[in-house]
Structures are given as C-alpha cells and as structure tokens.
Amino acid sequence: MRRSMNFAIFVLMLIFTACIQNVVKEQDENYIPPSVKTQPKIFYPVIAQENSYSGLAKVVVMISKTGIVDRTVVVKSSGYDILDKTAMEYCKELVFFPATKNGEPVDSRVIWEVNYNFMNQRWNSIDYLRSIEKLYNRAVLTVHNDRIDVERNILEKHSEFIKKMTDAINFNSVVEKIISPELKNEWKNNWNSWPLSFLLYHDFIQRFSDYDSMAVVKSKLEDAINYDIQYILKQPTENIESKNEILAKIKKFVADHYPNIILDNAGPKAEVDRKPMS
C-alpha cells in the first residue's frame, strides 16, 4: 500500500505451530488435551513489515473448560514488542475444543508458537490475478448453469486470497486490480491506509447478482467487514483522525448498502444498531 506490489518474488506468510503443555499431566490416560476449533486470520503488522521485523514468539494460552481463551502470556519474546503484542492478540481469539478428564471438560493450557518470517512462496498474488481475469472472461461467455460454476470458483479464489495474503501493506494494491472501476474510484483515497478485504465480496455481489447462494456471499462480506474493523482498531497509529475517518466511511458504506449487517464495535464514530441478517 505504501509501496507497489512486487509480483515476481516474495509474498509474506505467517506460520503458526502449536505444541501442547497441559495443566493436567500428559501421563494421565483419562486426559484428552485441547484441540483447535477455529483460528482467526492475522496480518503481519504494517509497522513490522515496514521495518523488516521478524522473529518467533512463544505464548502460553490459558484455555477455560468452555474452550475460550482466558489469558495469554509471552514466555519467549520474538525480540520486538509489536510482534509479541500481535501474537498475544491473535492467541486471545483462538477457540478450542476443551480438554477433558474422565469425559468432563477441564481447564488447560497450550504453548502456541507464532513465527513471523518472510518466505519465498509458490503461491503469490500474480497467480490469483491471472486466475480471476480468466474466470471473469469465462463468466461473460457461459450460459446460466455453467456461469454459476464459474462464479463459485471466483468466490473461492477471493476467499483463498483473503486467507493467504497476509501482506497488509500491499493487500489493496491487489484488490484494486480486481474490483470495478467505479468501486475503485470510490475508495481510491483509502488505499494507503488499511486492508479492505470486504470490497472483494461487495464487488462480487454487484457483478454477479444471479449467483445462486448470495446468502453465503453476504455472510462472507459481513465477516470480512468485521474483521477489517477489528484489524484497524488494533493497529497502533499516530494518526487517530485517519483511523476514525476510515471507520466512519465503513460505517456509512454498511448503512448505505447492507443496513441489516451486524457490525462489531467500530469505534466512537462508527457505532450502529445491531440488526439480524436478512
């Protein structure tokens, strides 16, 4: 976002590995350790990217008998406060199938390793862009039933990109090549601030109004909006005015296009009444 995408070489990826250290001794054959139920997406912090920070943080994750994380503690620093803080925030959003002893849920803990590293990846954004271009062309040329299959493939490609593209700096430089010129122009003043993943789903809804599972797309859109909001809120910045401005713009976007979407807390300038999804 502050520098152009280099499609030919490196793409950022976060690696997450976990090894379990249980409150109850592992020798107890009646004890079953916790397992991960859901993991949130995490972007490499923008400040860390700009300064080429990398390192491995080890976090002790305290898990309740309901599977919710109660507390996180860094036991081995990555060497950078911003990476340690991001690792802790990430771990707080993990959800587990709780550990059990004698068939009953119990409190437990795991050690979660978060490795921030620049890696050479086979998967990269240029593959995504080429795939989408081909699929857009196919969608124009196909009839209804085949077109639905193409549209479903496009949606899957969007979701894969959002999941794998952890590069917060260059995220929007890819998005602007996918969305319609009108939508690009509407958000052009915001490309250099925060990743806006929800725009891919909004563009899909506008572009493929005949899609047969639009409720699925709207659910993905809602998740993306709320994720983007939480990412913006958690990122440290000296320009609070800019942060509040983008949150207010997202709020207005939702009110104008999707008034029934449930927004997470989007800050003092972007609070809305919660309404059920239609």
What are the residue boundaries of the structural domains of the chain, listed by start? 11-119, 125-257
- The pLDDT tens digits of the residues spanning 37-96 come to 888 777 677 778 778 888 899 999 999 999 999 999 999 999 999 899 989 988 998 999
Q: Is the pLDDT of residue 34 over 80?
A: yes
Instruction: Supply the mean pLDDT for the chain.
Output: 81
Residue 109, classified by CB atoms within 10 Å of its CB into exposed (0-12), middle (13-18) or buried (19+), is buried
Query: What pLDDT, on a 0 to 100 scale, did the predictor assign at position 118?
Result: 57
Q: Is the pLDDT of residue 157 over 80?
A: yes
E strands, the chain, are 11-19, 31-32, 35-38, 55-63, 69-76, 95-97, 99-101, 104-106, 108-119
Q: Is the pLDDT of residue 219 over 50?
A: yes
Please give the residue that has the higher pLDDT: either 155 or 242: 155
Give the percent of the chain with pLDDT over 70. 80
Compute the average pLDDT of residues 111-116.
88
Compute the average pLDDT of residues 106-121.
79
For the chain, give the number of residues: 278
Beta-carbon count within 10 A of 218 CB: 18
What whole-number distance in Å separates Cα of residue 161 and Cα of residue 179? 14
Contacts of 231 (CB under 8 A, 6+ apart): 43, 168, 194, 195
pTM exceeds 0.75 for this model: no
Fold adopted by 11-119: TolA/TonB C-terminal domain (3.30.2420)
Query: What pLDDT, on a 0 to 100 scale, did the predictor assign at position 117?
Result: 73
Compute the average pLDDT of residues 87-116.
92
